[in-house]
Amino acid sequence: MFRRADGNLELRPMTVKDIPVALRIIQEVDEDDAAEAQETYGNSIDDQFCLCENRAVIGVVGAKPIPETDGSFGLSWTYLDPSHRRSGKGTRMLNWMIEIMRERDGRKAFVHASDYIDPEDGDIYRDARETYLQVGFAQEIRQPNYYAQGESMLVYGMRLCEKEAVNAVLNLDDIRLTDVDEIPETNGAYWLAWELVPQGQGTKPQDFQRVYDQVRSWGGRSIFMAFPSDVANAASILTAARFKSAGRLVDYYEDGIDEVHYRYEV
């Protein structure tokens, strides 16, 4: 059901035997992604696919449902063997993946990208970003200096079905910080985890200073948080704690409920 084929090209689910070739293709561009993919593939290859030409693996792509959302998917590692770039095969691979997400009742898809400039090879992710735009994705967020100083994170979104008319009900609970940790594959970017608690029991704006001091002692550069747009009290708390609005992913959780992003420069 989730296979696609056209002539000598085929997109099919990944098998255990494909993992070494898939990792080699990823590592040709990004060693950090290859290391993370190796760990993920070792746990599960569900939702991962290979693009094959004459049965030889030449590309990898994946699309996983995003937890706690209604039909949102996140594209995982999407790489084409360098010898096949600018051949149209990467576009074909992505279009097939989009068809499969729609078959799985996908509502919206998101993918992360980087604008890293390699000292020798230049803008190594340019082709990928251009392909995302070509197949119908649109940039929704750009976080400057995210992965490292001078390297941004860009998030692209794409509708997979018609949008429904909805009226979101506001959640008036407070937020309470639960953890702080460095974001994988970044140099000095941290993420604050949180939970909803009854009004009056949440973290106060002045309590954030302890977090800032801790992250600063670890050499951190930036702190990021994100919330569903229906969590009504989050914006005022973060503004009082000197966070700045950093964009939103539209209809991320469900139609009418975005993921709203904030950042604090340590």
The CATH code of the domain that includes 144 is 3.40.630.30
pLDDT at 165: 84
**For position 1, what pLDDT does the model report?**
65
pLDDT band at 62 (very low <50, low <70, confident <90, very high): very high
With respect to residue 215, please indicate whether it lies within any of the assigned structural domains. Answer: yes
Dig out the tokens for 190 from the structure. 């941290």
CB of 155 closer than 8 Å to CB of 214? no
Are residues 46 and 141 both part of a single domain?
yes
Residues 142 and 226 in one domain: no
pLDDT of residue 237: 95
- Give the number of domains in the chain: 2
In a domain, 167, yes or no: no
DSSP 16: G
93: nearest Cα among 104, 79, 110: 79
- The verdict on 191 and 86 lying in the same domain is no
Read off the tokens for 244.
């700045």
* 175 close to 231: Cβ distance less than 8 angstroms: yes
**What six digits make up the tokens of 236?**
């005022």
The pair of structure tokens assigned to 81 is: 């063997």
What confidence category does residue 99 fall into, taking pLDDT thresholds of 50, 70 and 90? Answer: very high
Residue 197 lies in a domain: yes
In a domain, 105, yes or no: yes
Nearest to 140 by CA among 153, 152, 155: 155
> Which residue range forms the structural domain that includes residue 206?
174-265
**Of 36, 32, 87, residue with least CA distance to 58:** 87
How high is the pLDDT of residue 135?
Answer: 96
* Amino acid 190: pLDDT: 98
